[in-house]
Amino acid sequence: MKRLETFAIVIVDRNRKITDVNDFMYQPFSDHRYNHFLNESVEVDHEEDELCLVNISGERYLVKRKDTNGQELFYILAVMSRVAKLTSNTNHKKHSSDELNHIIGTSRAMNRIKDLATKVATSDSTVLLTGESGTGKELFARGIHNNSARNKHPFVAVNCVAIPDELFESEMFGYEAGAFSGARRDGKPGKVELAQNGTLFLDEISELSYASQGKLLRVLQEREVDRLGGVRSKTVNIRVVAATNKNLKQLVTEGKFREDLYYRLYVFDLNVPPLRERERDVLILIEHYIHEFNQSLGKQVTEVSEDLKAWALSYTWPGNVRELKSSIERGMNIVEGSHLAQEDLGRYDNVHLDHTAQKEPFHGTLEQAMNHYEKAIIEKAILEVEGDRTKAAALLDIHLSSLYRKLSKHQI
């Protein structure tokens, strides 16, 4: 195509799919995202005479539109995210750019993962967040989204455990009016469509059935979604961030997870460290949650007892940050005065192994030891609530479906 001076230009066909771009698209707007322009769709947000606001590859542009020989030319006048950075106030800018840094933790392990997340946030690459339950994987997913060029668009979180296999397609891909008995009269967009131009967060992706994995893979490969009962595919422009507390590679070996989906997700792997590897962060987190619950519960706690500190530092926190927050909340509801002690955690220690029990030697592999302690904790929780599974799940701060899987796993 003929090169026009100083402007980055995008050419689209009648369906507004990109057929060509000029060199300037790769220079003043250089970013590896733009290597994927061809065949992307241009979505017009607002149009007034020759000026338009359009979305391309997750970025928003102000363009001047020209019709020529049955095609449209978009002259890129400004990248709106850069305009926003120049015009937004300092506080807002700091809040947006520092969101990952605001994740609590100053240990070496946390600083490393925050640095990596900040770097990968600037790209559109798929991210796989791994780590134990309760470590804060969704917090990192939101931080990556809010530090990306997609932060003006939706962040849609999907708990893969909560979607029954028979409802997977309607929930994820949506449906048209009359697609099935009971369908809404005007149809319904699925989670994938709702994340258009933003980020789709797939939590606990390892829990999808093998069949659902295949349906998801097609959407991730083709970037097209078919509503149930629909006749046309819809192009979607999304970034995918997935999370799991399982070893996906091992699940692939066992035939429980699709290898092709695994490699589609395994572009950039971030492992969020467990709290037992972040001893330096334990007391910082306790102080943070005390401050938080002082405000929400109207308390005035200013001190933490030495026995509570010693216990917290010796405990292995199998439920990680989620468990720590729940235990502090429990204590803050009970405490009177300005001093939080271990006894204020009420009957919490009846549910969990005390720190002396955890110091007893265990002969076996790390996985066997973790299974041993997890089983003991669940058994104590079940005993505490007199066998009520729903209350036990709430006490352990896990999904009921996760509790049933663990009960089956440990043959409780």
Per-residue pLDDT tens for 325-335?
A: 999 999 999 99
Determine which of 83-87, 108-112, 209-213 has the lowest per-residue pLDDT on average: 83-87
* Cα separation, 117 vs 341, whole angstroms: 36
* Cα separation, 110 vs 204, whole angstroms: 21
CATH 3.40.50.1970 applies to domain 361-412: no
371 confidence band (pLDDT: 50, 70, 90): confident
Give the 3-state secondary structure of residue 328.
Answer: helix
Average pLDDT over residues 77-86: 51
Per-residue pLDDT at 23? 62
Sign of the torsion formed by the C-alpha atoms of 199, 157, 295 and 307: negative
Higher pLDDT: 75 or 216? It is: 216
CB 116 within 8 A of CB 49: no
Token duo for residue 165: 């296999």
Average pLDDT over residues 184-191: 77
pLDDT above 80 for 32: no
Q: Where in the chain is the domain with CATH 1.10.8.60?
A: 276-359
Calculate the CA dihedral of residues 218, 220, 221, 226 and round it to 10 degrees: 50
Per-residue pLDDT at 92? 40
CB 258 within 8 A of CB 252: yes
Q: Where in the chain is the domain with CATH 3.40.50.300?
A: 93-271
Q: Which of 374, 364, 308, 310 is nearest to 132 (CA)?
A: 374
* Cα separation, 143 vs 151, whole angstroms: 10
The CATH code of domain 276-359 reads: 1.10.8.60
CB atoms < 10 A from the CB of 374, how many?
Answer: 16
According to CATH, the topology of domain 93-271 is: Rossmann fold (3.40.50)
Share of the chain above pLDDT 90, in %: 33
Per-residue pLDDT at 34? 46
Sign of the torsion formed by the C-alpha atoms of 339, 104, 155 and 175: negative
pLDDT above 70 for 80: no
Per-residue pLDDT at 188? 82
Strands 43-48 and 18-21: unpaired
Q: Where in the chain is the domain with CATH 1.10.10.60?
A: 361-412
Report field, pTM of the whole predicted structure over 0.75: no
CA 189 to chain centre: 20
Mean pLDDT highest for which of 22-31, 38-47, 50-59, 139-148?
Answer: 139-148
DSSP 69: T
Per-residue pLDDT at 374? 83
CB 100 within 8 A of CB 117: yes
Helix, strand, coil percentages for the chain (3-state, nearest 5):
45, 20, 35
CB 303 within 8 A of CB 115: no
Q: Which of 102, 145, 99 is nearest to 241 (CA)?
A: 145
